[in-house]
């Protein structure tokens, strides 16, 4: 990631989670599982609906080019409605979430999300709008706010969040049985309840007081009953239970469900392994590492190395939690030997973060800082700059949840 595009920002543990999970959703979970619908007869046709669902599944399985083709077709067939534009923006966002932080992808996302907002507002200004125009407007404004947050523009981000919430509230007032809108509303409820200091003041001034229990209730309802946003609601809950609530059993149920459904999504697999580690399920953890290595039998060297890096990364995390820092560093060095900056950039910046953590936990702060600065100065830091900035402010604690990030 080019620092000129995304200046680093000072973040506490919760602020980092907001940046990495809520506002960059996912660095690892493509936040594309919003709703598809419209009052147009064309949008009610089964084949169009199937296209959207197929495209969403492709995004979660990291098949971005195929998803792009599907959503471009939807856009071409419905140029006056925001749905297709929104999902094209989600293709770009998903690429960013997977570590591909090139300037052209950043610009592509910015252009597409702005186009979605423009189309949705134009629809709303006409008499023919419906609840889904507000849903897509709220979703696009929310992502625009997340984009501003990544630039360190907190106040601007909250202004977009305010407009997003108003649009989502209008949507649910028009359609009280819309479960998909609960993803956005539940997310805001939960995270604003967890804010503190100036951020809590901004949320009270510009949005409303948060409600942790209400946020979780809405997210669980979306995970169970939403037609199109159920997967993203599960993804959000997985991060919440794993990194904020420390409820590893609930996190494991979600991780196992997601990894079973999206077998090509490596992040869900790694998160499942992290749950095993946190729950002390050593045999399950070892079986998962072995399963990763079984995938190494693929005839493609690229695929073999891809899954080998994930197995090593999971072993590194296990060593970190068990305070075996020399062994963790050895695994990191093995990862970096097969680094692929073009096709797997995520597995460069994040292992370097882990190396810095190892030195910090050994008490060698000076050496640790070198690795954090190295990440900050990378052309493509795959989103790891957020955590690097946090760790430059203060070293990690033993057993810190983010040792497993």
Kindly state whether residues 250 and 204 are assigned to the same domain: no
The CATH number of residue 196's host domain is 1.25.40
- Alpha helices, DSSP H, located in 78-211: 82-97, 103-125, 131-150, 154-174, 182-194, 197-206
What value does the mean pLDDT take over residues 205-228? 85
Segments forming the whole domain that contains residue 291? 246-405
> Pick from 285, 392, 349: which is nearest to 11 by CA?
392
Confidence of residue 47 (pLDDT cuts 50, 70, 90): low
Kindly state whether residues 151 and 224 are assigned to the same domain: yes
**Quick check: is 21 in a domain?**
yes
Confidence of residue 212 (pLDDT cuts 50, 70, 90): very high
CB 158 within 8 A of CB 207: yes
Confidence of residue 206 (pLDDT cuts 50, 70, 90): low
**Quick check: is 30 in a domain?**
yes
Residue 214 has pLDDT above 50, yes or no: yes
Confidence of residue 11 (pLDDT cuts 50, 70, 90): very low
Kindly state whether residues 302 and 237 are assigned to the same domain: no
**Quick check: is 140 in a domain?**
yes
Kindly state whether residues 238 and 323 are assigned to the same domain: no
> Pick from 240, 196, 180: which is nearest to 216 by CA?
240
How do residues 301-360 score in pLDDT, each as one tens digit?
A: 788 899 999 999 999 999 999 999 999 999 999 999 999 998 999 999 999 999 999 999
Confidence of residue 204 (pLDDT cuts 50, 70, 90): low
pTM attached to this predicted model: 0.86
Kindly state whether residues 227 and 282 are assigned to the same domain: no
How do residues 59-102 score in pLDDT, each as one tens digit?
A: 999 999 999 999 999 999 889 989 899 999 999 999 988 888 87
Highest mean pLDDT among 47-56, 87-96, 278-287: 278-287
User: How far is residue 355's CA from residue 371's CA, in Å, rounded to a whole number?
Assistant: 7
Kindly state whether residues 99 and 228 are assigned to the same domain: yes
Residues above pLDDT 90, as percent of the chain: 60
Which residue, of 220, 245, 270, is where some domain finishes?
Answer: 245
Kindly state whether residues 333 and 200 are assigned to the same domain: no
Confidence of residue 23 (pLDDT cuts 50, 70, 90): very low
Residue 349 in tokens: 């910046």
Confidence of residue 53 (pLDDT cuts 50, 70, 90): confident
Kindly state whether residues 339 and 383 are assigned to the same domain: yes
Kindly state whether residues 161 and 272 are assigned to the same domain: no
Burial 339-369 (b: 16+ CB within 10 A, else e): eeeeebbbbbbbbbbbbbbbbbbeeeeeebb
């Amino acid at each position: 990631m080019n620092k000129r595009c995304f200046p680093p920002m000072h973040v506490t543990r919760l602020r980092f989670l907001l940046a990495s999970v809520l506002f960059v959703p996912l660095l690892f979970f493509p936040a594309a599982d919003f709703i598809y619908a419209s009052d147009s007869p064309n949008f009610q046709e089964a084949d169009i609906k199937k296209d959207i669902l197929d495209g969403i599944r492709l995004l979660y399985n990291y098949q971005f080019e195929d998803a792009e083709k599907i959503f471009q077709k939807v856009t071409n067939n419905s140029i006056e409605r925001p749905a297709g534009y929104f999902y094209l923006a989600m293709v770009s966002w998903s690429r960013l979430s997977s570590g591909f932080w090139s300037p052209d992808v950043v610009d592509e996302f910015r252009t597409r999300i702005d186009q979605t907002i423009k189309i949705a507002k134009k629809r709303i200004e006409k008499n023919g709008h419906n609840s889904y125009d507000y849903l897509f407007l709220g979703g696009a404004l929310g992502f625009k706010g997340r984009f501003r947050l990544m630039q360190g523009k907190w106040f601007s981000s909250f202004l977009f969040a305010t407009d997003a919430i108003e649009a989502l509230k209008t949507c649910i007032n028009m359609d009280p049985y819309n479960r998909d809108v609960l993803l956005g509303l539940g997310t805001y409820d939960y995270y604003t309840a967890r804010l503190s200091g100036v951020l809590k003041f901004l949320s009270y001034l510009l949005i409303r007081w948060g409600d942790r229990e209400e946020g979780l209730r809405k997210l669980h309802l979306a995970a169970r009953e939403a037609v199109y946003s159920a997967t993203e609601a599960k993804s959000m809950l997985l991060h919440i239970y794993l990194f904020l609530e420390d409820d590893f059993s609930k996190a494991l149920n979600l991780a196992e469900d997601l990894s079973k459904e999206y077998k090509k999504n490596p992040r869900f697999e790694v998160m499942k392994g992290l749950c095993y580690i946190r729950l002390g399920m050593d045999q399950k953890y070892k079986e998962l590492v072995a399963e990763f290595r079984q995938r190494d039998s693929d005839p493609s060297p690229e695929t073999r190395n891809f899954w080998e890096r994930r197995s090593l990364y999971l072993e590194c995390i296990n060593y970190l939690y068990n305070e075996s820092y020399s062994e963790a560093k050895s695994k990191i060095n093995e990862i970096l030997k097969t680094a692929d900056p073009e096709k797997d950039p995520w597995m460069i910046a994040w292992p370097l973060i882990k190396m810095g953590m190892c030195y910090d936990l050994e008490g060698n702060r000076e050496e640790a800082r070198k690795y954090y600065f190295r990440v900050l100065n990378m052309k493509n830091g795959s989103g790891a700059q957020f955590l690097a900035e946090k760790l430059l402010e203060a070293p990690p604690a033993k057993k810190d949840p983010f040792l497993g990030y």
